[in-house]
Amino acid sequence: MPTTHLPYPREELYRLGPQRSFSGRALGEIAFPLGGIGTGTVSLGGRGQLRDWEIFNRPGKGVTLPYTFFSIWAKAAGGKPIARVLESRLQPPYTRADGLASSEQAGLPRLDSCTFQGEYPFAKLAFADRRLPLQVELEAFNPMAPLDADLSGMPVAIFTWRLHNPGHTPVDATLAFSIANVAGYDGVTTLDRNASTKMLGRGLNSWQQQNGLAGIALTTEIAISWPDLTHTLRWKRAGRFDAFQSFWDDFADGQLRDDPTPDRAPDGRIDYSTLGLRVHLAPGESVALPIALAWHMPNLTNTWNAGQRGLEGLVGKPIGNHYATRFKDAWDVATHTLRELPNLESATRRFHDTLFESTLPAHVLDAVSSQMSIIRTTTCLRTSDGKFHGFEGCNDNVGCCPMNCTHVWNYEQALAYLYPALERTMRDTDFAINTRDDGDMAFRTALPLEPVVLWDFKPAADGQMGSIMKVYREWLLCGDTKWLRKLWPEIKRALEYAWRGPNGNASAAWDPDGDGVMEGEQHNTYDIEFYGPNTMCGSLYLGALRACEDLARALGEDVTADEYRTRYERGRARLDQELWNGEYYVQREPPVDQIVEVDHGTQPWHSSAYVPGENELRYQYGRGCLSDQLLGAWFGAVVGLDNLLPPERVRAALASIFRYNWHADLSDHANTQRTYALNDEAGLLLCSWPLGERPTQPFPYSDEVWTGIEYQVAAHLIYAGLVDEGLTVVRGLRDRHDGERRNPWNEFECGNHYARAMASWSLLLALSGFRYSAPAGRISFAPVVNADKFRSFFSTGTSWGSFAQAHNDSSFKATLELRAGSLRLQRIELCPLTTPTQVSITLGGQPIAAHLEPAGADVVVALHQELSLVAGELIEIRLR
At 633, is the secondary structure helix, strand, or coil? helix
Q: What burial class does residue 429 get, using C-beta atoms within 10 Å of its C-beta: 0-12 exposed, 13-18 middle, 19+ buried? A: buried
Short-list 400, 560, 421, CA closest to 488: 560
Task: Rule CB under 8 A: say whether 245 interacts with its own copies.
Answer: yes
The CB-of-675 to its own copies minimum distance in angstroms stands at 4
Q: Are 421 and 360 in contact (CB under 8 A)?
A: no
Task: Rule CB under 8 A: say whether 725 interacts with its own copies.
Answer: no
Determine the interface stretch with its own copies among 164-172, 476-484, 505-513, 674-682 (rule: CB under 8 A).
Answer: 674-682
Q: Which of 599, 668, 693, 809 binds its own copies (CB under 8 A)?
A: 668
Short-list 55, 61, 60, CA closest to 38: 55
The CB-of-398 to its own copies minimum distance in angstroms stands at 10
CA separation for the pair 686, 628 (Å, rounded): 7
DSSP conformation letters of 129-154: -SS-SSEEEEEEE----TT-TTTT--
CA separation for the pair 49, 69 (Å, rounded): 7
Of the pair 400, 545, the CB lying nearest its own copies is at 400
The CB-of-27 to its own copies minimum distance in angstroms stands at 11
Short-list 520, 697, 509, CA closest to 615: 697
Residue type, 47: R
The rounded radius of gyration (Å) of the Cα atoms in the chain is 28
Task: Rule CB under 8 A: say whether 131 interacts with its own copies.
Answer: yes
Q: Are 139 and 157 in contact (CB under 8 A)?
A: no
Binding string, residues 308-347; x marks residues near its own copies by CB under 8 A: ----------------------------------------
Q: Which of 226, 248, 564, 803 binds its own copies (CB under 8 A)?
A: 248
CA separation for the pair 854, 837 (Å, rounded): 9
The CB-of-43 to its own copies minimum distance in angstroms stands at 13
Task: Rule CB under 8 A: say whether 619 interacts with its own copies.
Answer: yes
Q: How does strand 858-870 pair with strand 31-34?
A: unpaired
Q: 241: left (phi > 0), else alpha (psi -120 to 50), else beta? A: alpha
CA separation for the pair 28, 26 (Å, rounded): 5
Q: Which of 10, 485, 674, 880 binds its own copies (CB under 8 A)?
A: 674
At 355, is the secondary structure helix, strand, or coil? helix
The CB-of-692 to its own copies minimum distance in angstroms stands at 14
Short-list 859, 748, 865, 878, CA closest to 813: 878
The CB-of-467 to its own copies minimum distance in angstroms stands at 25
Of the pair 252, 852, the CB lying nearest its own copies is at 252
Of the pair 492, 618, the CB lying nearest its own copies is at 618
Of the pair 18, 109, the CB lying nearest its own copies is at 109
Task: Rule CB under 8 A: say whether 79 interacts with its own copies.
Answer: no
Of the pair 155, 751, the CB lying nearest its own copies is at 751
Q: Which of 261, 672, 810, 846 binds its own copies (CB under 8 A)?
A: 672
Cα 539 to Cα 190, 320, 591: the distances in Å are 48, 38, 22
Task: Rule CB under 8 A: say whether 646 interacts with its own copies.
Answer: no
CA separation for the pair 503, 639 (Å, rounded): 31
Task: Rule CB under 8 A: say whether 254 interacts with its own copies.
Answer: no
Q: Which of 667, 810, 846, 865 binds its own copies (CB under 8 A)?
A: 667
Of the pair 648, 668, the CB lying nearest its own copies is at 668
Task: Rule CB under 8 A: say whether 670 interacts with its own copies.
Answer: yes
Site for its own copies in 94-113 (CB under 8 A): 94-102, 105-109, 112
Task: Rule CB under 8 A: say whether 128 interacts with its own copies.
Answer: no
Those residues with Cβ within 8 angstroms of residue 765's Cβ, 6 or more apart along the chain or in another chain: 413, 417, 638, 715, 771
CA separation for the pair 125, 113 (Å, rounded): 10
Determine the interface stretch with its own copies among 15-23, 89-97, 314-322, 361-369 (rule: CB under 8 A).
Answer: 89-97
Residue type, 584: Y
Of the pair 146, 695, the CB lying nearest its own copies is at 695
Site for its own copies in 395-414 (CB under 8 A): 395-396, 400
Site for its own copies in 200-239 (CB under 8 A): 238-239
Residue type, 16: L
Of the pair 247, 419, the CB lying nearest its own copies is at 247
CA atoms in the 13 A half-sphere facing the CB of 113: 7
Beta bridge partners of 71: 85, 176
Determine the interface stretch with its own copies among 7-15, 646-654, 666-674, 762-770 (rule: CB under 8 A).
Answer: 666-674
The CB-of-436 to its own copies minimum distance in angstroms stands at 28
The CB-of-842 to its own copies minimum distance in angstroms stands at 52
Task: Rule CB under 8 A: say whether 686 interacts with its own copies.
Answer: no
Task: Rule CB under 8 A: say whether 607 interacts with its own copies.
Answer: yes
Task: Rule CB under 8 A: say whether 629 interacts with its own copies.
Answer: no
Q: Which of 65, 83, 191, 841 binds its own copies (CB under 8 A)?
A: 83
Short-list 240, 247, 100, 279, CA closest to 180: 247
Beta bridge partners of 217: 206, 221
Task: Rule CB under 8 A: say whether 602 interacts with its own copies.
Answer: no
Q: Which of 278, 742, 807, 827 binds its own copies (CB under 8 A)?
A: 742
Q: Which of 135, 671, 811, 815 binds its own copies (CB under 8 A)?
A: 671
Determine the interface stretch with its own copies among 248-256, 257-265, 444-452, 770-778 (rule: CB under 8 A).
Answer: 248-256
CA separation for the pair 572, 578 (Å, rounded): 10
Q: Which of 669, 815, 842, 871 binds its own copies (CB under 8 A)?
A: 669
DSSP conformation letters of 442-464: PSSB-SS-SS--B--SPPPHHHH
The CB-of-601 to its own copies minimum distance in angstroms stands at 17
Q: Where are the alpha helices (DSSP H) in 620-665?
A: 631-639, 647-661
Q: 239 — phi, psi (to 5°)?
A: -80, -175
Task: Rule CB under 8 A: say whether 92 interacts with its own copies.
Answer: yes
Determine the interface stretch with its own copies among 42-50, 557-565, 673-681, 787-795 (rule: CB under 8 A).
Answer: 673-681
Beta bridge partners of 190: none
- The count of other CB atoms within 10 Å of the CB of residue 171 is 23
Those residues with Cβ within 8 angstroms of residue 588's Cβ, 6 or more apart along the chain or in another chain: 532, 533, 534, 578, 579
Q: What burial class does residue 396 get, using C-beta atoms within 10 Å of its C-beta: 0-12 exposed, 13-18 middle, 19+ buried? A: middle
Site for its own copies in 6-65 (CB under 8 A): 28-29, 61
The CB-of-38 to its own copies minimum distance in angstroms stands at 20
CA separation for the pair 758, 748 (Å, rounded): 11
Determine the interface stretch with its own copies among 225-233, 549-557, 694-702, 756-764 (rule: CB under 8 A).
Answer: 694-702
The CB-of-720 to its own copies minimum distance in angstroms stands at 29
Of the pair 675, 811, the CB lying nearest its own copies is at 675
Task: Rule CB under 8 A: say whether 394 interacts with its own copies.
Answer: yes
Site for its own copies in 746-805 (CB under 8 A): 746, 748-752
Site for its own copies in 425-464 (CB under 8 A): none
Of the pair 100, 282, the CB lying nearest its own copies is at 100
Q: Are 805 and 757 in contact (CB under 8 A)?
A: no
